[in-house]
Amino acid sequence: MVLKIYMFGVAKEIFGNRYVEFTVDNTDRISVEKLKSLLEEQRPRMKDIGSYLIAANNEYTTDKYIIYGNEEIAVIPPVSGG
């Protein structure tokens, strides 16, 4: 399964692009928790972000959410403002 994942904020800097195509082998679904783990394996600096969120189809997800590959996925790091 190939996921097109949009990156925002510091995640975009870590991956070096606005979006990445991420291949998940031997499966037709993946949990958000597992996707985060794979992203962190590929780019260990993702662990430094802390509490980033994954959105699917413009909705925030939980770690138990299952991605089937046809969703629009985004990595949303914490934001600060003032």
In a domain, 82, yes or no: no
Pairwise pLDDT comparison (74 vs 81), residue with the higher score: 74
In a domain, 81, yes or no: no
User: Which structural domain, as residue segments, surrounds residue 39?
Assistant: 2-76
Amino acid identity, residue 45?
R
Please compute the mean of the pLDDT values over residues 61-79 and round it to a whole number: 94
Domain count, the chain: 1
In a domain, 17, yes or no: yes
- Phi and psi at 19, nearest 5°, equal -145, 155
Q: What confidence score (pLDDT) does residue 25 get?
A: 84
Q: Is the pLDDT of residue 26 over 90?
A: no
We report the CATH number of the domain holding residue 53 as 3.10.20.30
In a domain, 24, yes or no: yes
